[in-house]
Structure 1
Amino acid sequence: MEIRPILSAMMRNKTAPLLIAAQVALTLAIVCNALYIIRDRLATAARPTGADEQNLSEIRFYPHRQITDIQDMQRRDIETIKAVPGVVAATWANQIPLGQSSWNYGGLTTDRGQTNSNIGATYYFSGEGDSLVHTLGARLVEGRDFEPGDYIDLNPALERKDPAVIIVTKALAEDLFPGEKSFVGRTFYLGSGDEAGAVRIVGVVEKLQSPSAPASEQAENSMIGPIHYLDPFSRYSIRTEPGQQDRVMADVEKALLALRNDRVLLGKRTFAEARASRYSGENMMAGLLIAVTGFLLLITASGIVGMASLWVNQRRKQIGVRRALGARKHDILRYFLVENVLITTGGVLAGIALALALNNLLVAELEIPRLPVGYLGLTMAVMWVLGLLAVLGPAWRAAAVPPAIATRTA
């Protein structure tokens, strides 16, 4: 089929083709970036924390009067928790992955004299009870877990000190010692200057996400210190047998409340609830964008159908004349499909430029990664298919009109 007559026909009546092309361009730009943001947000929300989330819970108590036997209280709490049937491991821990309340260390260095480090990490520590690595179900990929002699007592009201050894995530180790493959035995400093504490790596866990879990790679920068933290605020992480979480946590709550009357239950939650809370914004945004994308595609398809129907009706006489001169149904159908491909292609080319401009704005404002080329290709294909499907109905109806009726009713 000759393309030139189709282009000449469109040039004589530019309004409809330009409106369809503009709608295609705007839809492509928005849908392309929306699909990428949806994928990015859902991928972020699905990242593993490195913990056995399905079987982990946290329970917290706050004292309503002074507690003088803090270490003994923590020890008795752990004994009481572990006596509950179905408890696999339990420990006092200062925070949990995805908990959103975070203890952090900034400016970690491998040289005490270094002052410009931008490496930071979440600082987990736990004392009484099982090791935090075992309780969380994290996987050691190098070195060992803490031994009893590694732990230090720390009363935050009286002193500030750091342990001699530490466990780090693989991501943090690679940030601190780029290019290295083994990290056990390496030393780094919690800060810079003469007061920076030196710690030696004794173990590396594959993954342990931070409580804030930012979208950046910093989410995996975590370290664990062996510290008996003597704080009256009680916070216990508990891993249960599969399928026993609800029953076990109810029993744990009852047992701990019966143990003392000088504190109140501040709250309890599962790690799954912590995940849902942390990523509620990402999931809401993804759901909203999915709805907007679907609605926009529907509006675009409806617009193309409406424009195509109007345009076909305006050319019924032309169609009838072509049919009278011997054009078959599939010739008429092919004419309108080719015409639509040309219009859609014009819209797609404009849409690509618009999509890249919009992505540049989003990269600058929202700090999301740049749009991969694959998303442009996918959205281009979607728009071509959408355009063809939208025009197929009007074109088929036009091709089916007998020549005598088409010319008489024009």
Structure 2
Amino acid sequence: MEIRPILSALLRSKTGAILVAVQVAISLAILSNALHIVEIRQGVAARPSGMQDEGSLFYLRVRHLDDSDHNGQLALQKSEAATLRAVAGVTSVAFTNQMPMSRSGSTNSVAADRKQVNESANASFYFSPESLVKTWNLKIVEGRDFTPDEVIEIDASADRDNFPKSVIVTRALAKKVWPNDASPLGKTLFFGTGEDANGARVVGVIERLQTQSAQVDESGEYSTIVPMRLTNGFGTIFTVRAEPGQRDRVMKEAEEALRKAAPRPVLLDVESVDEDRTDRYRADKALSWMLITVSVLLLMITASGIVGMASLWVTQRRKQIGVRRALGARRVDILRYFLTENFLITSCGVFGGVMLALGLNHLLVSKLEMTRLPMGYLFAGAGLFWALGVAAVYGPAWRAATISPAMATRSA
């Protein structure tokens, strides 16, 4: 089939063709970028926190209504930890000050040198007298976990000068603070800047541990752990690992055990790590589903536009089709004519859509710091719209091919 007659027909009635091509271009530009954003958001929501088997982890926030002194709080913390360890199905318990992805907690400025004017990074500040490496099942890639003699006990209301002498850092933080060093082991990490900064020697490096805010960029893994027990009268957090498949039961029994063992009224809040992950990434998942919905609607609207335009062309060319059939054109010739015509229109739209998609992505990269749009999305999008164009026009084209010459040429 020659292309020239098709192009000639399109040029004589080009408004509809232009509208379809523009619709395809806009849809392709939006679809490819939307799905790229969906992939990024889904990847962020699924990224590892550093805690292995999150489905077995939960934590309890404990607040006693009447506060004890430092020694009383220490004794109570140790007693409550023992109560939790006695619950059937509990494999590990650790006191801590905050939880990854919980969106609640503290950070500290850190630096490689006390003389630095500006901080090297801002890192989450986790502390525990027990092993968070064990309870959270963190992966140590260099060095070791803390030893019992490194743990210090601090009364926040009175002791403001004492500070742990050892620290574990994430690999991401180590690369940020000491970018030119092969290993941070044995180096001193300073919390704060200036002469008042507290120094701690790096004894271990863990593969990763998300911050309490779980930022999207690399700072979401800038975390530190120090060996410390703190009493401050504001409550206690116990993080608990249960046996696989036993978490929900253990959560209920752990809460009941603490309430029964409490010597005085207590406020308890129990949360799982899975719940924190869901809450933290709720907006990302909502955005993903919204973009998926918009993409599906765009495809449906584009397909409807192609079907409607093809049906209109068939109606307008009814007599022309009859004449061609009377002169010997086969059904397959009529079908091929409309498919080729639509393919040309869709190809123009696809080409324009690729240019528009790249321009839109460049804008997103410059304004929102997104990553570049992979070419695979453009190739997949182009293939999708070519297939969509063929599928959408096939019905009207087939109806045109089945028109008999007598019916098509009959006067109204």
- If the length of structure 2 is used for normalisation, what is the TM-score? 0.94
Partners in 2 of 1:144 and 1:244 — Cα distance? 29
Instruction: Give the corresponding residue for 1:286.
Output: 288
Is 1:78 matched up with 2:81?
A: yes
Shift of 1:284: 1.2
For residues 407 and 162 of structure 1, the distance between their equivalents in structure 2, rounded to whole angstroms, comes to 95
* Structure 1 equivalent of residue 144 of structure 2: 144
Give, in angstroms, the shift of residue 45 of structure 1. 0.6
Q: Match of 1:231, as an amino acid?
A: N
Contact 2:112/2:120, CA 8 A, preserved across alignment: no
1:97 corresponds to 2:100: yes
Aligned partner of 1:383: which letter?
F
Structure 2 residue aligned with 1:356: 358
| Structure 1: distance between partners of 2:75 and 2:297 | 61
Q: Structure 1: state its 5+ residue gaps.
A: none
The answer for the alignment partner of 1:380 in structure 2 is 382
Paired position in structure 2 for 1:131: 131
| Same amino acid, percent of matched pairs | 48
Partner of 2:35: 35
Residues 256-312 of structure 1, C-alpha deviations (whole Å, 9 max, x = no match): 112224342241011111111111111111112112211221111111101111111
Question: C-alpha separation between the residues in 2 aligned to 1:259 and 1:273?
Answer: 26
Question: Aligned to 1:120, what secondary structure does the other structure show?
Answer: strand
Asked whether the equivalents of residues 24 and 349 of structure 2 are also in contact (C-alpha less than 8 Å), the reply is yes
Distance in 2 separating the partners of 1:346 and 1:405: 34
1:120 correspondence with 2:122: yes
2:220 maps to what in 1? 219
Aligned pairs for 1:234-245 (under 5 A) are 234-245=236-247
Aligned to 1:87: 90
Q: What's the TM-score, normalizing by structure 1? A: 0.95
Is 1:210–1:222's contact at 8 Å kept on the other side of the alignment? yes
How many pairs are equivalent? 407
Residue in 2 that maps onto 1:343: 345
User: What CA distance in whole angstroms lies between the structure 1 residues aligned with 2:54 and 2:288?
Assistant: 23
Displacement of 1:167: 0.6
Partner of 2:196: 195
Q: Is the 8 A contact 1:61 1:263 kept in 2?
A: no
Paired with 1:147 and 1:176, the residues of 2 have a C-alpha distance of: 24
Q: Relative to 1, partners in 2 of residues 1:190 and 1:384: Cα closer, same or farther, differing over 3 Å?
A: same
Moved more, 305-314 or 360-369: 360-369
Provide the rounded CA distance (Å) in 2 between the counterparts of 1:294 and 1:234. 48
Is 1:267 the counterpart of 2:269? The answer is yes
1:155-198 Cα offsets, whole Å, 9 max, x none, are: 22221543111111111112222254433222222232212222
User: In the alignment, is the contact (CA less than 8 A) between 2:108 and 2:122 conserved in 1?
Assistant: yes
Check the 8 A contact 1:87/1:248 in 2, yes or no: yes
The 1:61–1:291 alpha-carbon spacing in structure 2 relative to 1, beyond 3 Å, is same
Aligned CA RMSD, in angstroms, stands at 1.7
Q: Could you say which residue in structure 2 is the equivalent of 1:207?
A: 208
Aligned to 1:171: 172
Contact 2:120 2:177 in 1 (8 A): no
> Quick check: 1:156 aligned with 2:159?
no
- Alpha carbons 2:20, 2:346 under 8 Å: kept: yes
SS of match in other structure, 2:185: coil
Match of 2:23 in 1: 23
Q: Distance in 1 between matches of 2:379 and 2:266?
A: 58
Aligned to 1:307: 309
| Contact 2:139–2:208, Cα closer than 8 Å, also in 1 | yes
Following superposition, the deviation at residue 364 of structure 1 comes to 4.3
